[in-house]
A = this chain, B = another copy of it.
């Protein structure tokens, strides 16, 4: 038992997957070919309604929890078995693409539809999940629905978050009718999430399937360098305490630290210069550092290196330095059994694959704290995401869904 079906004959319906993706992309479509379906807006409601309608048409049992997370279940033969779950999110960035999140939901739905096509029953139920507000665009934090499901923060905390107009997440959820009555959290046997890579690695390597090893840990910081604001003209170079010149040296040290290992990242993305006037020597520069690594030890090394460089550079230049940590995510290795299921499925299907770490956050990262979890990455064009020009090839999306199908079947068992 639990033998895989013949991968040559048992694959998902690639045309149907693509059609569903394109149908969903029309909800909140932007003139430039992207999607604007911000969490808990009328567009998000319309996307959810479309998803629920498709699930009901496929005979799935739909429930919505109090956080607005949607679960659509295809029953298994074992009434006591926890579901094997897959999903992602339907909300997008303000100028988002057609595949970020939506692909993981549609691939999971396609798994259910394909199992119906072939009349296959599984031992454990198969469950499709749509997580509320993954993007964190309108309400913080990111990955809010899966975070509440995994107990990372409370429903009350999540509902109290307000958007820029002062509307609370709870009120927004109520207003679109997706504050469900299902309690928060239920047992999950395994969780898989298919997603576009949102990075350039697979495309650059010419590989179709990324077997995701886990999520990088993250530490984010705000660094503030303070010197002495002064007129550019009357102040000789030797008498300057230029906060920007000190900051640029620290920024370069941060970048260099990120290059110490293939799976470390160090990024300065945000810079604020004060007073930011063309003929005034900057008196204060605030900038961000986003450090990521696959292990806590590497993360600690990055942080220590950054603090040492910042302190040394500012001491040498008579500048003041303040470092404040703003974000901490521990590294999340995915479950060996889920990684193996993905790897084996790709092997059996004959897809070129490689292990790949997830540098970004995903709902699967939170799920990994409550059940065995894994992810499947497929290439996206030029590694671009969170952008209306985000693009992916239909055959890559189908390949990822095929791997998802067989990985889920391996975990759920064929009845």
Contacts and interface: CB of A to CB of B under 8 A. Distances in A.
Interface of A: 197-201, 204, 216, 218, 220, 229-239, 242, 244-245, 248-249, 251-252, 255, 258-259, 262-271, 273, 276-282, 288, 290, 292, 358-361, 383-387
B233 A359 contact: yes
A386 B235 CA distance: 13
Nearest to A264: B237
Contact of A359 (B235, B359, B387): B235
Contact of A255 (B242, B264, B265, B278): B242
B198 A234 contact: yes
Contacts of A271: 244, 271, 273, 276
A250 to B, nearest CB: 9
Contacts of A198: 231, 233-234
Contacts of A263: 236
Contacts of A281: 267, 269
A96 to B, nearest CB: 13
Nearest to A233: B359
A292 B232 contact: yes
A142 B111 CA distance: 68
Nearest to A360: B233
B200 A235 contact: yes
A230 B276 contact: no
Contacts of A230: 199-200, 383-384
Given A200-B239, A238-B259, A248-B252, 20 more contacts: A218-B233, A229-B387, A231-B359, A231-B383, A231-B385, A231-B386, A233-B292, A234-B358, A235-B265, A235-B359, A237-B255, A239-B383, A242-B255, A242-B267, A245-B252, A248-B251, A268-B282, A269-B279, A269-B281, A278-B290
A233 B358 contact: yes
A262 B236 contact: yes
B259 A237 contact: yes
Contacts of A288: 278
Contacts of A264: 237
Nearest to A249: B252
A236 B265 contact: yes
Contact of A220 (B236, B251, B278, B384): B278
Contacts of A387: 229
A233 B199 CA distance: 8
A197 B199 CA distance: 53
Contacts of A204: 239
Interface centre among A218, A258, A270 (most CB of B within 10 A): A270
B269 A276 contact: yes
Contacts of A276: 269-271
Given A251-B248, A276-B271, A290-B278, A199 B234 contact: yes
A234 B269 contact: no
A236 B278 contact: no
Contact of A360 (B234, B245, B262): B234
Nearest to A250: B248
A281 B255 CA distance: 11
Contacts of A251: 244-245, 248
Given A234-B198, A235-B199, A268 B244 contact: yes
Contacts of A267: 232, 242, 279, 281
A232 B265 contact: yes
Interface centre among A229, A231, A387 (most CB of B within 10 A): A231
A133 B278 CA distance: 19
A243 to B, nearest CB: 11
A230 B384 CA distance: 7
A157 B79 CA distance: 85
